[in-house]
Structure 1
């Protein structure tokens, strides 16, 4: 009842999209297919047997007085809507530093709540994968060439990729916003966008050949975080049947109204930002230019996260999953061996000497220090610092997810992407963050301009083909299988996992002791009311006084 009431107040209005039908449009040509969806008629493009429909709106533009409101229904359109190109990317900082992930996203706009569909256009109902892009909830877009869904669709699934509000426009909480909400909450607008997109899929995807009762949510990095939020959220329940979380990070998140775990409440953070922006009212905030507002918020240090509001998110992720209150669905989860090699800003500087390192670790980890130093020894300080942050964010989270879903009786599959190739290894980026994406999407030739170039060799294509097969198979059946590749056993089978190196290779008991150490550290942080994120290793708070039971 609780989830139903929130959907009524915040998201379910998107269902109105299906109440008005467009008049019958003219038939499409062979390369310009037309789909008569209940939300409206769209005309896309077809190539190599795959039909693509891009830039389809799933909610009204959240601009003006609709800024910082739940996604609202969009008026049904008449005639045929051109769906041959992507919609605008959502507003994001214009002065982001250049990196291997940088690309030209073209036009950005607040009118960005669109999605894209790739379908094999077969008769019947194909399983569906809904892709949620990463970017720290600050940046990114569904129009990245890397996310083109054609190769996966050729495996017999429908692929959907979505945009959602980012940064301050997607995650600002404020007392005045909560006061104007019928359910007394604010923030989490980007998450509500994701739910609205899933609602659209539920009601429209059958027109594109998809099965609305066989939906897999999938995402990497902040997209993986979003997958966990959706698994934990009561308003998303029933909108998906499987989950894929790549390089997800189960960190502490702000509470809407209370300061906890070393962070101010989300409403306090919003009030502080409004003051810094010299915006004394919502009217002033809503009147600001969206790009200028986004840039100013980023420069002021605003960090977007989901907020525990009792409605969209009912608790910290670690608690929801520990209590078994998350969606009981099969999961595929994993991380990369070199996650932090391309995200060194998340890792602290290495101490000057091995003795300094050991002294700091013993002071901060107490009785956990011996195990910490076994896993992250002082003999190679640089690598140990990188591995500590990797495991505290991504490694521990991945194993936590497959353990918890296994405990719910659901097939769960763990992987480690540990693949290197000359350009990446020469740049000291072996297995870097997101480096699995070109392989699992089948787009090794469509990376961003600064991405270490993947060789056009039979070996690289074979690895990609295997990963495309595993991912598509999981979307279809809940079990990852690839023709001619290693058998991927569920985690519940002797803590099984799959290594992606030059080729897939099955293993048992990934990084013994890693999960237990970080589970204990998080447990102590909760008991001591401390944050858990990338403040680990030599920059960890003192955990020596934590309860021995952790």
Structure 2
């Protein structure tokens, strides 16, 4: 007797209304689902508010507009014709063809220095994760730049208050939506793994220290975070004033300006602030970042991890071999010159300068200076998180050393963001395709399969497998390369030289 298979269920009832998805390339997708009310009008620069339920069925066939940002390559978030709007708080779900016993859920936070990025970027297409990993994949938009990551509370008035950490609060609202609704898409709300790269990784290490996010995710896989990138009090207020000055806005006019200025005007001013001002005045700091406000984010993340007050969930955290090399060539915002490094130490821990720089043979040569900047911003605080969290919850450390031939030809090696096509298995287009144009595709795919396999095992079991956990005795670290290996305490001399460094806190 012939058997028939029920058609995939594309209509799902969410807590706000019914959504209908699409079927393509062997997966089901739902795109552009609102998870919070539009953050516009009086809701601009305020914490996200609940969505008003809708009537009928929402057609979830298309991505929502991307958050306001500078336009560039579509793979970075916003191409020349990409729809863009402040009304951007939408979430996307990709799931296997049929619901089965609830599947692990992977929630991705995109990078982009908190100023660019979007869930619709083809770089973050989760189809390979879903098809080969048997998981449910989620990615959401969150507010960027001044509209999401700056502190304008000094300009609040009784009639026009401004909140802080609204971009971080967007992410919490999205995770809350996942808890309420993911079962309808075949996901397990009790098995949610968050993962993210760069600003996405920073978001996760901050969210692990946000009390209102507790219980919304159960595991964290963190790529190239800069966990020390959170500030307050002092610097965020200063940067807000600098931004107003860059736009020619007087102090007394700031409340009205923040309520009425176009998003494009704010985007342009943030670009000047983050590329021209802070790299020289506070090298290594980011003017758009989580704010230690004493309430939503009560403690600096490094301090929270050390005090055991971060959410005690399994954590995988790691970095690229040379994080700073990308910024030296593409986005000149790190302390990768002698002048910026001198300023960085003068503004933070001047007594450590000679000790740290002695651990970088060849300094002040350019390569050594680039490594100082990359280590200060990315590697060192990631090590600090790993060593602190390992005292309270299972923790694993990795380093991604593999560089496709093109990356070596460009003089960057295994640098920032080159693990993104690896974790998604997307080497057929965009950055992944470019990196393999000069050859080495087979090896790149193989390394990516192993790296992605660690993420998927972690999501299923709570352990990435294949290498021991991290502790301050051995500091065991997995090295992903053309041939993987395990090392004990990589860069020990550098780590010890940086001991006591706190940065711009």
TM range (shorter): 0.7 to 0.9
Distance in 2 between the 1:404 and 1:217 partners? Answer: 20
Number of the residue aligned with 1:290: 263
1:440 to 396, 414, 423: 423
Q: 1:299 to 1:248 in 2, by over 3 A?
A: same
Give 1:319-468 correspondences, 5 Å limit. Answer: 319-344=303-328, 345-348=332-335, 368=352, 371-378=355-362, 381-408=365-392, 410-448=393-431, 451-453=434-436, 455=439, 457-468=441-452
1:212 to 176, 189, 192: 189
Number of the residue aligned with 1:104: 79
Shift of 1:177: 5.8
Unaligned residue ranges in structure 1 (runs of 5+): 1-28, 482-486, 526-530, 533-550
Please state if 1:162 is matched with 2:140. Answer: yes
Unaligned residue ranges in structure 2 (runs of 5+): 1-5, 278-286
Q: Can you list the C-alpha shifts for 1:328-353, whole angstroms capped at 9, x where unaligned?
A: 1111111111211110124556569x
Distance in 2 between the 1:282 and 1:185 partners? Answer: 9
1:491 to 460, 463, 470: 470
Shift of 1:314: 0.7
Distance in 2 between the 1:404 and 1:288 partners? Answer: 42
Shift of 1:253: 3.1
Question: When the two structures are superposed, what TM-score results if normalisation uses the length of structure 2?
Answer: 0.85
Number of the residue aligned with 1:119: 95
Q: Can you list the C-alpha shifts for 1:277-322, whole angstroms capped at 9, x where unaligned?
A: 7881534432222223322343355831221211111122222122
**Over aligned residue pairs, what C-alpha RMSD do you find?**
3.2
Deviates more, 1:209-218 or 1:294-303: 294-303
Query: What SS class does the counterpart of residue 218 from structure 1 fall into?
Result: strand
Number of the residue aligned with 2:223: 246
2:45 to 59, 68, 71: 68
> Are the counterparts in 1 of residues 66 and 78 from structure 2 also a CA contact under 8 Å?
no
Shift of 1:85: 2.1
Question: When the two structures are superposed, what TM-score results if normalisation uses the length of structure 1?
Answer: 0.79
Q: Can you list the C-alpha shifts for 1:74-100, whole angstroms capped at 9, x where unaligned?
A: 121222212122111100134x6x899
Shift of 1:376: 0.1
Distance in 1 between the 2:210 and 2:498 partners? Answer: 24
Number of the residue aligned with 1:259: 234
1:513 to 493, 498, 505: 493
Distance in 2 between the 1:266 and 1:57 partners? Answer: 31
> Are the counterparts in 2 of residues 30 and 46 from structure 1 also a CA contact under 8 Å?
no
> Are the counterparts in 2 of residues 126 and 158 from structure 1 also a CA contact under 8 Å?
yes
Query: What SS class does the counterpart of residue 161 from structure 1 fall into?
Result: strand
Deviates more, 1:322-331 or 1:288-297: 288-297
Number of the residue aligned with 1:21: none
Count of equivalent residues:
478
2:482 to 492, 502, 523: 502
Q: Can you list the C-alpha shifts for 1:349-384, whole angstroms capped at 9, x where unaligned?
A: 6569xxxx99x999x988756753452012782221
Q: Can you list the C-alpha shifts for 1:368-424, whole angstroms capped at 9, x where unaligned?
A: 56753452012782221121112111111222222122100x221111111122211
Please state if 1:199 is matched with 2:202. Answer: no
Please state if 1:141 is matched with 2:118. Answer: yes
Q: Can you list the C-alpha shifts for 1:116-144, whole angstroms capped at 9, x where unaligned?
A: 11112331211111111111111111111
Shift of 1:446: 2.9
Number of the residue aligned with 1:543: none
Please state if 1:480 is matched with 2:464. Answer: yes
Q: 1:296 to 1:374 in 2, by over 3 A?
A: closer
Distance in 2 between the 1:46 and 1:346 partners? Answer: 42
> Are the counterparts in 2 of residues 31 and 47 from structure 1 also a CA contact under 8 Å?
no
Query: What SS class does the counterpart of residue 226 from structure 1 fall into?
Result: helix
Shift of 1:452: 3.0
> Are the counterparts in 1 of residues 153 and 164 from structure 2 also a CA contact under 8 Å?
no
Distance in 2 between the 1:270 and 1:81 partners? Answer: 39
> Are the counterparts in 2 of residues 101 and 450 from structure 1 also a CA contact under 8 Å?
no
> Are the counterparts in 2 of residues 395 and 515 from structure 1 also a CA contact under 8 Å?
no
Shift of 1:276: 3.1
Number of the residue aligned with 2:282: none
> Are the counterparts in 1 of residues 324 and 336 from structure 2 also a CA contact under 8 Å?
no
Number of the residue aligned with 1:546: none
> Are the counterparts in 2 of residues 55 and 86 from structure 1 also a CA contact under 8 Å?
yes
> Are the counterparts in 2 of residues 68 and 177 from structure 1 also a CA contact under 8 Å?
no
Shift of 1:32: 7.6
